Amino acid sequence: MIIDLRSDTVTKPTPGMMQAIMEAQTGDDVYKEDPTVNTLEKRCTELFGMEAALFFPTGTMANQAAIKLHTQPGEQLICDKWAHVYNYEGGGVSFNSGVSCKLVDGHRGMITAAQVVDSINPPDFYHSPLTSLVCIENTTNKGGGACYDMTELKKIKAVCDEHGLGIHLDGARLMNALVAKNEDPKQYGQLFDTISICFSKGLGTPLGTVLVGKKDIMKNAIRVRKVLGGGMRQIGYMAAAGLYALDHHVERLAEDHKKAKELAAVLAAQTYVDRVEPTETNIVIFYLSDRISEEKFMADLQQLSIKISSMGQGKLRMVTHLDYTQEMHQRAMNVLAAY
Ligand SMILES: *Cc1c(COP(=O)(O)O)cnc(C)c1O
């Protein structure tokens, strides 16, 4: 039994999801003739109370398309120093959009409205890049699955409105935040111009991210997706997995959160662990004491059939998911307690 806690992307479709995939009606989605993709896009539009949606192969491509839709080359976006769009999208912000990032020294990947204000370049000061977009991540990945407070998000939105900035939400794990904080997706639809929602993370599909947004911003989205190589044909098979996930895999995220909290509690009690970040959703981030190296710890766990990941700067990460069973959970906790 391999216990893979490296990421919530390692899951395979459940039998029920597999059946939904097999039974999907499909068509050529580049011609917008795939009924299942159209249904998924419509469903996401309604879920968030937004005007338009488009299905992408990956979260990276959806974020990159959103950034392209919001900016012109030479402009600057504001994001946290740990943001996925800055750290884990291959430099796509500059490659695809010719945009630079003003990095904010936030808390656990989350930034405040006051920090956004401080990061805006004065628009008439033509020596600096023009600030045009704020990118928020919820939950934060490198920040250990931390969730924003709705009040702070509203303040950030007010700052964006006041300064004429676009606001994009990297919601790769937004469903985890909605479940953890018992929030309504429509609250997010009201605050953001565009939101990306991944189906291949906690929701457990093989691929797919939906970008939802306002009509005027989204009108060019299909062209940008084409340029990025993301036009797909009979992709309704994967949209069917997404629809299945919306019906069956959202509420159960609470189980992943519970297991993550239990793993965090076990780790916090071990002398080889220096500190564990607060665990709100399905990501556990912890640091080892000086006595043991990350490499040795990870290799030892691997020997015991447990895989975890390193995020650099001493951060180790475990992510709970659909394929992490109660039996695996019990064994992982025993191994960590006995190590
Ligand atoms: C996983 C992830 C993405 C998208 O990644 P893909 O692998 O391209 O689907 C975007 N943002 C965050 C915060 C993520 O965790």
Q: What is the pLDDT of residues 87-146, one digit of tens each?
A: 999 999 999 999 999 999 999 999 999 999 999 999 999 999 999 999 999 999 999 999
Does the pLDDT at position 314 exceed 90? no
**Distance (Å, whole) CA 188 – CA 140:** 15
- Say if residue 294 is in the same domain as residue 221: no
Residues 175, 207, single domain; the answer is yes
Range of the domain at 279: 251-338
Same domain, 201 and 309: no
Ligand 1 atom 14 nearest Cα: 172
- CA atoms lying within 13 Å on the CB side of residue 128: 14
Q: Return the ligand 1 atom nearest residue 209 CA.
A: 9
Of all protein residues, the one whose alpha carbon is nearest to atom 2 of ligand 1 is 172
Top mutation candidate among 138, 148, 170 for ligand 1, by most atoms within 8 Å of CB = 170
Number of domains comprising the chain: 2
Residue 337: both structure tokens together: 């307690």
Q: Give domain status of residue 5, yes or no.
A: no
> Looking at the predicted structure, is the pLDDT value of residue 313 above 90?
no
In a domain, 325, yes or no: yes
pLDDT of the residue at 291: 87
User: What length is written for the chain?
Assistant: 339
- Residue 244 sits in the same domain as residue 260: no
How far is ligand 1, taken at its centre, from the CA of residue 237, in Å? 21
Q: 311: pLDDT confidence band, cut at 50, 70 and 90? A: confident
Please indicate, yes or no, whether residues 75 and 175 belong to a single structural domain of this protein: yes
pLDDT band at 267 (very low <50, low <70, confident <90, very high): very high
Per-residue DSSP letter, 120:
P
Substitution site in 60, 195, 282 for ligand 1 pocket (most atoms within 8 Å of beta carbon)? 60
Do 182 and 281 sit in the same domain of this protein? no
Whether residues 122 and 264 fall in one domain: no
pLDDT of residue 112: 98
Same domain, 260 and 161: no
H/E stretch holding 179: helix 174-181
Domain boundary among 209, 231, 248: 248
- At residue 312, the pLDDT reads 80
254-284 burial by CB neighbour count: b if 16+ within 10 A, else e? ebbbebbbbbbebbeebeebeebbebbbbbb
- Residues 6 or more apart whose Cβ sits within 8 Å of residue 53: 40, 41, 42, 44, 45, 210, 211, 212, 213, 218
